[in-house]
Amino acid sequence: MTPGVSDRAAPLAQFLVGIGIEEIRHTEKTYLDHLLAVYRGLESWGCGEEVCAGGMFHSIYGTEMFRGFTLPLERRAEIARLIGERAERLAWANCVMDRTSFDQAVLKERGPYRFRNRWTGETIELGDPDFGDLCRIHLCDWLEQVPRSKKWKYRREAYRRLAARLGPWAEEAWRKVYSAENAGA
């Protein structure tokens, strides 16, 4: 078992180790460490297992910003069997989203929420529960890595709006992380 990994996350971590994730670098740590930290962050926010699992696989197919590892989309069914269909859909949506169109969707008060698939140009449509969980995953991922990446200005206002959308607990998490910028971190 991977040290510091819960019993629920252990099989997922083992799968990731099996495909070589622990050798990939990501914001001054390993990609595996980042994925585990996102899982733990979502868990600490009170998210259920499928959201935590979706968060752990949030960039498995690559994202607009991270392409250090990309699992082929032909393996989506395998990932869905491993983490669950909904968790995989959330992870996939995070990977393929065009972030500008996602940021616009965040401004809507209720669904359906539409944003663009950056690979195909097609529209992705999510209802309130899925969009809310995708927002949690997306915010947790960024808050986990921004202190190491030092990319404080990257979509800063979009992440602030995302936190405001999720509520006071998310706004506090955003403030806590972003306060490190002024502390010289």
Mean pLDDT over each residue of the chain, to the nearest integer: 93
pLDDT at res. 28: 74
Residue 113 lies in a domain: yes
Decide if pLDDT at 117 tops 50: yes
Number of structural domains found in the chain: 1
Pair of tokens at residue 138: 């997306």
Residue 3 lies in a domain: no
Q: Give the mean pLDDT of 68-86.
A: 93
161-178: b (≥16 Cβ within 10 Å) or e = ebbebbeeebeebbeebb
Decide if pLDDT at 3 tops 60: no
Residue 133 lies in a domain: yes
| Number of neighbours of residue 185 by Cβ within 10 angstroms | 12
CB 166 within 8 A of CB 139: yes
Residue 184 lies in a domain: no
Decide if pLDDT at 8 tops 50: yes
Q: Give the mean pLDDT of 116-142.
A: 98
Residue 46 lies in a domain: yes
Residue 62 lies in a domain: yes
Of 90, 113, 115, the residue nearest 100 (C-alpha): 115
Residue 185 lies in a domain: no
Q: What is the span of the domain harbouring residue 55?
A: 10-178
| Number of neighbours of residue 71 by Cβ within 10 angstroms | 18
Of 21 and 54, which is predicted with more confidence?
54
Of 85, 119, 128, the residue nearest 101 (C-alpha): 119
pLDDT category at 27 given cuts 50, 70, 90 is confident
pLDDT category at 25 given cuts 50, 70, 90 is confident
Q: Give the mean pLDDT of 79-90.
A: 98
pLDDT at res. 185: 43
Terminal Cα distance for the chain, rounded: 32
Q: Give the mean pLDDT of 67-95.
A: 94
The proportion of the chain whose per-residue pLDDT surpasses 70, expressed as a percent, equals 96
H/E segment holding residue 60: none
Calpha distance 50→181 (Å, rounded)? 32
CB 51 within 8 A of CB 136: yes
Q: Give the mean pLDDT of 15-34.
A: 87
pLDDT category at 24 given cuts 50, 70, 90 is confident
Q: Give the mean pLDDT of 47-53.
A: 97
Residue 2 lies in a domain: no
